Amino acid sequence: MTIELRVLRPSEWDDWFGKLLLAFGGVEEPQEERELWGSLTEHERSIGAWDGDDCVGTAGAFSFGVSVPGGAMVPAAGVTMVSVAATHRRRGVLTSMMRRQLDDVRRWGEPLAVLTASEPEIYGRFGYGIATQQMSAQIDTVRGRITAPQGADAVRLRFAEVADVAAECEAVYVRGIGSRPGMLARKPGWERLPLLDPPAERDGASPMQCVVAEREGEIVGFVRFHNKPEWEAGGPSGTIRLRHIEALDPVTYAVLWRFLFDIDLTVRVVVRNRPVDDPLLHLVNDVRKLEVRVRDGLFVRLVDLGAALEARTYRTPVDVVFDVDDAFCPWNAGRWRLTGDSKGASCKRTEDDVDLALSVRELGAAYLGGVSLAALAGAGRVRELRQGALAEASSAFISDVAPWLPHGF
């Protein structure tokens, strides 16, 4: 079997995307969604694997900037739409696409590649580490309560048409990007993603509703949600499915959550993706009523290790020599001296004695400040060769704000 890898031609997109859907089970996407992905696909950064005339593999890469500790936006390839036909699996097609793609990303000069995984086990072998987590919750809003915060009277809530306030809501969202590692700067067009609301995916719930929070007539926060009314013998038991909540200040945030808790005829709020340090955890009267679960979010792969580690800042001063194992991208392998603090950093090749030994996967996991090197050492994935180096590096890498990816791609 000879499989040819080549850059996607725009005329091949329909077939290519169809094969991707087939690999995910063959369910057609709603037209609105398909069109959006079609317009967002960067053909020149996407590859197809071909067995003769048959497309048997797909892999794309969006152009993103990733927010990192210190607030910089680091250019990154957003790896996406990865699939191999069921007829061609476990013969190395994915491996060959990952090889080609990481070489491309290096050539494009992007220090990072990032992705979200269909299954977390797939990408570690290619040097990706789990760098962010996301929290889901199924909140009992009958027994759970939020008290009105001081200053709540200055915030006015009103229903608005989703489309009418889309630009103002996007502006509120964008203002938060630099302050939380893991969030993405994206090209124009992506603002349409959170507005997708295909009827086929509502499962008996309402079309997306939007409530905006205003201070002196200006939008400072919003929620978008679906309401799914249900009735049981004992009375109403509706569900609010929260899609988005954003606010520019803590009082507005609390007011919006309080609104969600208080919607008549509903007994729960379900939310799929919030940061693990969401203030909600501290706003409720009883944290157990949130029924929280945590799972993997954004995977990070350092493609240009030196440039990536220099692009972020460090919470406390650090001066350590890493010995890095990177079999898949050998240009990163070997010894690097990282020196840095909250103002900047340098990461250069060195022959000095090693302080910490680890693979590029651990550095990817720790990169956004959400996973501690000490915790990875606890799992045997980082080895300390100079006493004190682990504590020094671990506290330097950690971020005060948990890194988070608010949406898929």
Residues carrying an active site annotation: 123, 409
Measure the CA–CA gap between 348 and 353, rounded to whole angstroms: 14
91 sits near ligand ACO (criterion: CB under 6 A): yes
250: amino acid identity, one letter: P
117 sits near ligand ACO (criterion: CB under 6 A): yes
Region 196-235 residues binding ligand ACO, contact defined as CB under 6 A: none
83 sits near ligand ACO (criterion: CB under 6 A): yes
368 sits near ligand ACO (criterion: CB under 6 A): no
DSSP E strands in 216-265: the ranges are: 218-228, 231-232, 235-236, 238-247
DSSP E strands in 85-145: the ranges are: 112-115, 129-130, 133-140
Instruction: Determine if residue 206 is labeled as part of a ligand binding site.
Output: no
Residue from 47, 84, 356, 377 that binds ligand ACO (CB under 6 A)?
A: 84
324: β partners:
334, 358
408 sits near ligand ACO (criterion: CB under 6 A): no
302: β partners:
112
Kindly report the backbone phi and psi dihedral angles of residue 129, in degrees, each rounded to the nearest multiple of 5, phi listed first.
-115, 150
Region 60-79 residues binding ligand ACO, contact defined as CB under 6 A: 79
Measure the CA–CA gap between 365 and 299, rounded to whole angstroms: 7
Cβ 369 to ligand ACO shortest distance, Å: 22
Residue from 53, 121, 153, 264 that binds ligand ACO (CB under 6 A)?
A: 121
Q: Which is nearer to ligand ACO, 88 or 180 (CB)?
A: 88
CB 111 within 8 A of CB 308: yes
8 sits near ligand ACO (criterion: CB under 6 A): no
Only segment of 80-88, 153-161, 190-198, 307-315 that touches ligand ACO (CB under 6 A): 80-88
Measuring CA to CA, how many Å separate 126 from each of 224, 229, 341, 383? 37, 45, 29, 21
Instruction: Determine if residue 95 is labeled as part of a ligand binding site.
Output: yes
Residues 6+ apart with CB under 8 A from 67: 73, 177, 178, 179, 180, 181, 182, 183, 184, 185
184 sits near ligand ACO (criterion: CB under 6 A): no
Q: Which is nearer to ligand ACO, 70 or 364 (CB)?
A: 364
Torsion of CA 127, 68, 279, 205, to 10 degrees: -70
Size of the site for ligand ACO (CB under 6 A): 22
CB 85 within 8 A of CB 79: no
27 sits near ligand ACO (criterion: CB under 6 A): no
Residue from 6, 10, 108, 118 that binds ligand ACO (CB under 6 A)?
A: 118
Residue with tokens 């398909």: 34
Q: Which two tokens stand for residue 337?
A: 């001296």
80 sits near ligand ACO (criterion: CB under 6 A): yes
Cβ 147 to ligand ACO shortest distance, Å: 42
90 sits near ligand ACO (criterion: CB under 6 A): yes
Q: Which is nearer to ligand ACO, 93 or 338 (CB)?
A: 93
Instruction: Determine if residue 82 is labeled as part of a ligand binding site.
Output: yes
Burial class (CB in 10 A: 0-12, 13-18, 19+), 97: buried
Q: Which is nearer to ligand ACO, 84 or 208 (CB)?
A: 84
Q: Which is nearer to ligand ACO, 118 or 179 (CB)?
A: 118
3-class DSSP state of 399: coil
- What's the first-to-final CA gap in the chain, in angstroms? 32
Task: Give the annotated binding-site residues for acetyl-CoA.
Answer: 82-84, 90-95, 118-119
Q: Which residues bind ligand ACO (CB under 6 A)?
A: 23-24, 79-84, 89-95, 115, 117-119, 121-122, 125
